[in-house]
Structures are given as structure tokens and as C-alpha cells.
């Protein structure tokens, strides 16, 4: 890609970014759009959003979005620090060295716009040149900076996690465990079996239990009732705002008829719900799983980490999620069902990656004008127009890839749901790992391998040749990934305008009978946003010495993201759960992978550039990086998996004499009652639905 095509892409995306930010500034405080742009703080006094986002402290972020929100923003802080240093070295030192080389051409400043961006890459440095030692030194420098900042962030966030635990009020999930695979004999209920077992083996700490029931049919009825309630409320709202009784369509159907029809259906559904709740309780439709609560955090921890039975597949215990975080539908799955689901999901994930490889091959073909003219010869005359060719090669491929990638997170979340996780946070953390693997293979490697040399999949069959082959194929896609990063400015700016939510809101305003429920703010989709952010860290590190021109664009992306998401976490997104910062180990592992990949590519680059000594001296670097990762895993990861005996007992002793603990334990007995089993509210005769069906 030539510099003028890159400039076209930068100009388009910069203009769109400014336009979206301006539109957000104009619309955010207009009454019709408050439900879209500030559902969490609709009555807050108007103030400029950018200074407000800058002024807020980390304590404010923690109060508004929990520790997961703090961790998400720390990813941007960490990335800005890393790529600020990388940009100083890459743009200030490496890029001038690359440009002043003459491997690709003699220097000619008069025709710079028509020169390839490869002139700023390491490919333009003469083979065997001593200037390559600057690139060698830069690899060690940026690795040292990144590892230091990784250690600092891991230590800081693990300290925040411990502080979060020690300063938190008593929470049900700290006193409760989930028990699955409960063995039941004939004539004995699951409830009786649980009560007998824990009274016998945990008599001093056992408090109570709640057995899980099969409520699939009941949930379907409740969902139908919720939908009818929403339609009924919208119809009544239209009737109140219009002021006149609506006329009938073709003399047959009027809105009053619909109101009566929906009220009758709602009455029938509510009666069916009550009957189903009664049948579920009376017929003991129990699942061999139960939430078991204890009188102390230490007692609950003992039940989790000590095997309960001589048969490992029985009385299996695990951490209980927050009651509001429980995902109820999959409790009926057995151990074998969950095992089979994991296998099926693994195969499905691989197939999805393979399908996306074909998509990436097509998208990459758009970056090569010759290949595009071969595929679509009837467009040859149009493609010869300079502006069209620059748009097609410099802008269109990355837009298509962004668009298609936006549908993958929901698929990965569905895959994780099928695996039988019992919490929404567990589903999203699993989906986050899947999305990260998908992003690495289907966005990075797929574009690298299919874009440069078709049939390069055999690159991994000979491990000795991996560095050399990557050193050839990765630089060839530098121009594509630079435009991909630039296009992402518009993508992250569209987070401000909430384009999809705005369209739904406008549609609901026009077709009021189809208006959606905007009473609840949306939640942050960490499972899709964290892998997306880590992808740009991967691109910045892998192209650090290969094509440092990408670094300022990556830095701009992280700066935009930092301010935009600080604003969104306060005004738009409401936390659905709080894992206590358990997303950070995923971030750490992804960054370590990016560093090692950078080292492998650098080893191959110096080999191709006929500087074998530099390649040899780089070999210890990935080994040292992996050793550093292992040290961090042993030092910090256990803090994210479980709390220590010291912390648990200290917290228990601090609270055992507090008078409010009696009330807490009284509420804990019913904390894990399935919402589908709770009494429903009467709505069929009310004029307006102001509360949810479940009380």
C-alpha cells in the first residue's frame, strides 16, 4: 500500500471519529436520548464529558463499575505506558533508520506520497548492516519495559483484589458452595441427602441448603408473561399519550381490543405460572445439585478444597456465584453431559476458525489490486481510478473484517453457555478465553498466512523454520494491519454514540407498540472487549521492529479507548457481576504470548537480514520471558483463584461479634432461591407495569 492510500484511510477515519464524538456531544443531554447515552445517571447535571472522564479517580471507577471495571481500564493504562515508550523508540529511532536505508530504493523525497509504506519497515535496511543492532537493542528494551509493567500491574491488581475482599461487607457467595452430583437412593430426596451429609461431616459450620429444581418450563412461561407485560405497557402508554381512543383498522381490530386480548392472555399465563410452581414443589422435581451455606467463610472454603467423597465423581463442590450472577438453566446437566458439551464446543470453535480462514483469504485479496482485477475483471476500469483503488485497498478490507468479527462474540458466548457454567461471569470469562484464541488465530494468523502466500499453513510443520517463515509473511501484511488499526478509531468512537442502541430507541419512539424496555442499563461485554483490546497490543508488539509506523496509530487507539470507556462505565454500563478482577490473568497471558511472538519474528528477521549473531543472542529472550511468566503465575495467580486461610479467618473473626451478622445469616437461608420459584406480582388489572414479574 502506498502512503497516499494510508493517508486516505487516516483522513476518513479521523473525520468519522470527530463526527461521531461531535454527534455524541450534541445528543447526550437532549431529553429524547438520555435513555441511550446516560441510562445510569439520567438526572445528573450536564457537564463536558471529556473533562469529567479525566477528573474521576480510580475509587470512583471502583464504586461505579466494580473491580472488573478498574481492571478493564488498567488494560488501557498499561497499554498506553508500553506503547508510549515503544513509540519513542520505534518512531524516534527505528523508523528514521528504516527510511534512510536503501534496500528497496534510492531516497527520493519528491514522490513520497506514491511510495510504499514498506520504506518505513525493517525491509528497507541493508542486509548485514550494523544499523540492525539498533533493532536488536530495541527488542530487549521494550521486552524489559513490558515485563516490568506487567509485574507492577499484576502486583497492583492482586493487592486490590485482597483489599476488595477485606473491606467488603458479608456476601452470600463467600459463605456458600455449590454441590453437584449428589447421590440419591430410592425413597430419599436430594434435600434430605444433603442435610444428612453436611450435618454429619460439617456439623460445626453447616447452616442451611437450597436444592435446585427443574424450572425450564416455568421459565418459558415467565418469559412469555414478561413479553406480554411489555406489550401491554406499551399499548397503554400509547393510549395515554394520544389522549383519544384509537380507531379500528378496517373496522375490525383496535388498540382497545388488543389491550383486552393481552390482559386475558396475561391472566392465563399468571395462573399457569402459579400452577407450575405448585407442581414443581409438590412433585419434587429436584436436580442433584444444591447451594449449601456455612456459618463462616473458612467453613465454606474447607468444603470446596477438601474432597467430600471417596468417589471423586460424587459430592463435587465448587465456588458459588453471587445470587444475582447464577445462570439457572444448565443445572440439570450431568457430569457426562458437561464433558460431552466441552468436546462438542471445542470442535465447533475449531470449525468456526476454519470458516473464518476462508473469509480472511477473501478479505486479504482486496488489498492486492492485481488479484482483485483477476477475480472481478469487469470492474477493472473502475478500479483503475486512483481514489477508488485507494478506498478499496486502504479502507474496505479492514471495514469488512471489523463487521464480520462483530458477530463472533455472541457465538462464543453461546458456546460457553452450552458447556454448563452456572454463572454469567463464568460464561463470559470462558467466552473471553475463546474470543482471545479466535482473535489470535482468525484475525492475526489467518490474515498473515492467507494474505501473503496461499498455502502457508504448513509453516508450523517444521518448528525450525517458523521464525524465518514468520519473518517473511508478517512484514508483508504491515499495510493491512496499519489500516485495520486506523479503522478501529471509528469503531471505538461508535461506542460513544451507541449506534445500535440509538437505532432501537428511534424505532421504539416511532413504533411505540414495539418500544423496548429501557428501564435497565446495559452491562459491559468484557468477553468481547478485552480480546479486542489485546489484539491491538499484539499488533503493536509484533510490528514493533518490523514496521514501527503502526505504533502511533496503536497509541491513539488506546488513548481514545481510555477516555471513552471511562465515560461509558459511569454513564451507560451497569455491572451485572463482579469477579473481583479475575479477568487480569487473561490479559497477562495474552501479553506474554505477544512478547514471545515478537521475539520469534525478530529472530527470523535478523536471520533473513544476514545477522546470525543477533538471532542467536535473541534466543534466550523468549525463554526468560516464559520464566518470568511462570514466576508471576506462582506469585500472583493463586490470589485470583482462592483466598488464603489467613484472610478468611481474619475476616471471620472481625465480623463474628457484629450484631448485623444474625440478620445476614437469616437472609442467607433464602438467598439462593430460584427466581422462577418466587411468587409473581399481579399485573393483569394494573394500568402500568412498574415492577418486574418476579418479586
Give DSSP secondary structure letters for 529-555: HHHHHHHHHHHHHHTTTT-GGGHHHHH
* Parts of the chain with a pLDDT under 50: 107, 109-111, 244-253, 451-456, 684-692, 695
Rounded CA-CA distance 65/579 in Å is 11
Predicted model pTM: 0.85
Number of other CB atoms surrounding residue 566 within 10 Å: 25
CA distances from 448 to 113, 443, 473, 592, 610 (A): 25, 8, 6, 20, 23
Give the cell for residue 168. 467488603
- Please give the C-alpha separations between residue 12 and each of 229, 268, 383, 490, in angstroms, as whole numbers: 45, 56, 19, 9
Instruction: Give the residue from 549, 435, 436, 406 showing the smallest Cα distance to 483.
Output: 549
Half-sphere exposure of 412 (CA within 13 A, CB side): 26
Q: Are 693 and 681 spatial neighbours (Cβ–Cβ below 8 Å)?
A: yes
Task: Write the CB contacts of 191 (distance below 8 Å, at least 6 apart in sequence).
Answer: 209, 211, 286, 290
How high is the pLDDT of residue 27? Answer: 87
| pLDDT of amino acid 118 | 74
Q: Where are the domains of the chain?
A: 3-170+420-508+519-643, 172-239+257-331+654-677
Tell me the pLDDT tens digit for each residue of 469-521. Answer: 777 778 878 888 888 899 889 989 989 888 777 877 777 666 555 555 555 78
Tell me the C-alpha to C-alpha distance, in Å, between residue 559 and each of 81, 84, 531, 548, 549: 10, 10, 17, 18, 17
Grouping H, G, I as helix, E, B as strand and the rest as coil, residue 212 is strand
Per-residue pLDDT, 115 = 60
Per-chain mean pLDDT for the chain: 82
Model pLDDT, residue 654: 92
The helix (run of H) or strand (run of E) holding residue 286 is strand 286-294
Amino acid at each position: 500500500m502506498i502512503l497516499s492510500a494510508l493517508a486516505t484511510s487516516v483522513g476518513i477515519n479521523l473525520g468519522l471519529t470527530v463526527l461521531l464524538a461531535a454527534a455524541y456531544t450534541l445528543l447526550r443531554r437532549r431529553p429524547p436520548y438520555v435513555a441511550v447515552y446516560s441510562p445510569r445517571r439520567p438526572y445528573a447535571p450536564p457537564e463536558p464529558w471529556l473533562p469529567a472522564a479525566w477528573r474521576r479517580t480510580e475509587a470512583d471507577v471502583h464504586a461505579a463499575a466494580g473491580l472488573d471495571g478498574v481492571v478493564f481500564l488498567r488494560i488501557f493504562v498499561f497499554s498506553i505506558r508500553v506503547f508510549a515508550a515503544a513509540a519513542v523508540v520505534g518512531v524516534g529511532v527505528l523508523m528514521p533508520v528504516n527510511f534512510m536505508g536503501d534496500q528497496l530504493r534510492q531516497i527520493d523525497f519528491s514522490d513520497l506520497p506514491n511510495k510504499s509504506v514498506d520504506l518505513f519497515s525493517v525491509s528497507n535496511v541493508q542486509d548485514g548492516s550494523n544499523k540492525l543492532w539498533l533493532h536488536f537493542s530495541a527488542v530487549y528494551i521494550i521486552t524489559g519495559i513490558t515485563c516490568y509493567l506487567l509485574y507492577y500491574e499484576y502486583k497492583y491488581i492482586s493487592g486490590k483484589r485482597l483489599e476488595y475482599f477485606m473491606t467488603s461487607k458479608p456476601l452470600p457467595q463467600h459463605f456458600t458452595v455449590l454441590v453437584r452430583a449428589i447421590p440419591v437412593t430410592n425413597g430419599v430426596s436430594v434435600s434430605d441427602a444433603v442435610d444428612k451429609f453436611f450435618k454429619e461431616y460439617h456439623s460445626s459450620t453447616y447452616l442451611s441448603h437450597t436444592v435446585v429444581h427443574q424450572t425450564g418450563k416455568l421459565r418459558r412461561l415467565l418469559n412469555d408473561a414478561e413479553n406480554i407485560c411489555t406489550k401491554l405497557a406499551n399499548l397503554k402508554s400509547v393510549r395515554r399519550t394520544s389522549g383519544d381512543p384509537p380507531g379500528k383498522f378496517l373496522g375490525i381490530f383496535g388498540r382497545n381490543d388488543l389491550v383486552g386480548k393481552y390482559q386475558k392472555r396475561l391472566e392465563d399465563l399468571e395462573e399457569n405460572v402459579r400452577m407450575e410452581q405448585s407442581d414443581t414443589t409438590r412433585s419434587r422435581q429436584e436436580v442433584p445439585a444444591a447451594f449449601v451455606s456455612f456459618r463462616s467463610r473458612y467453613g465454606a472454603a474447607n468444603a470446596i478444597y477438601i474432597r467430600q467423597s471417596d468417589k471423586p465423581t460424587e459430592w463435587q463442590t465448587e465456588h458459588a456465584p453471587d445470587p444475582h450472577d447464577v445462570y439457572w438453566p444448565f443445572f440439570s446437566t450431568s457430569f457426562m453431559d458437561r464433558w460431552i458439551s466441552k468436546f462438542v464446543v471445542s470442535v465447533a470453535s475449531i470449525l468456526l476458525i476454519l470458516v473464518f480462514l476462508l473469509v480472511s483469504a477473501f478479505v486479504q485479496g482486496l488489498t492486492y489490486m492485481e488479484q482483485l482485477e483477476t477475480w472481478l475483471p469487469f470492474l477493472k476500469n473502475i478500479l483503475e481510478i486512483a481514489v477508488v483503488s485507494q478506498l478499496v485497498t486502504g479502507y474496505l478490507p479492514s471495514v469488512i473484517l471489523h463487521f464480520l468479527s462483530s458477530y463472533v462474540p455472541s457465538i462464543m458466548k453461546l458456546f460457553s453457555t452450552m458447556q454448563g457454567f452456572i454463572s454469567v461471569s463464568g460464561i463470559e470469562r470462558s467466552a473471553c478465553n475463546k474470543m482471545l484464541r479466535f482473535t489470535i488465530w482468525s484475525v492475526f494468523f489467518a490474515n498473515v498466512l492467507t494474505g501473503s502466500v496461499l498455502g502457508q499453513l504448513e509453516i508450523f510443520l517444521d518448528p525450525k523454520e517458523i521464525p524465518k517463515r514468520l519473518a517473511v509473511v508478517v512484514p508483508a501484511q504491515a499495510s493491512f494491519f496499519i489500516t485495520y488499526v486506523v479503522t478501529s478509531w471509528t469503531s471505538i468512537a461508535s461506542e460513544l454514540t451507541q449506534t445500535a442502541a440509538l437505532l432501537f430507541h428511534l424505532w421504539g419512539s416511532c413504533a411505540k407498540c414495539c418500544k423496548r424496555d429501557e428501564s435497565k442499563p446495559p452491562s459491559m461485554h468484557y468477553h468481547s472487549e478485552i480480546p479486542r483490546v489485546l489484539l491491538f497490543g499484539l499488533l503493536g508488539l509484533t510490528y514493533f521492529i518490523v514496521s514501527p509506523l503502526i505504533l502511533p496509530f496503536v497509541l491513539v487507539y488506546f488513548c481514545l479507548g481510555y477516555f471513552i470507556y471511562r465515560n461509558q462505565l459511569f454513564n451507560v454500563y451497569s455491572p451485572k457481576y463482579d469477579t473481583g478482577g479475575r479477568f487480569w490473568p487473561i490479559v497477562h497471558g495474552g501479553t506474554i504470548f505477544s512478547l514471545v511472538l515478537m521475539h520469534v519474528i525478530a529472530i527470523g528477521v535478523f536471520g533473513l537480514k544476514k545477522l546470525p549473531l543477533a538471532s542467536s543472542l535473541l534466543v534466550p529472550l523468549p525463554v526468560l520471558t516464559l520464566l518470568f511468566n511462570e514466576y508471576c503465575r506462582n506469585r500472583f495467580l493463586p490470589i485470583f483463584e482462592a483466598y488464603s486461610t489467613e484472610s478468611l479467618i481474619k475476616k471471620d473473626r472481625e465480623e463474628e461479634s457484629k450484631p448485623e451478622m444474625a440478620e445476614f445469616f437469616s437472609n442467607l437461608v433464602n438467598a439462593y432461591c430460584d427466581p422462577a420459584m418466587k411468587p409473581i406480582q399481579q399485573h393483569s388489572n394494573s394500568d402500568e407495569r412498574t415492577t418486574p414479574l418476579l418479586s
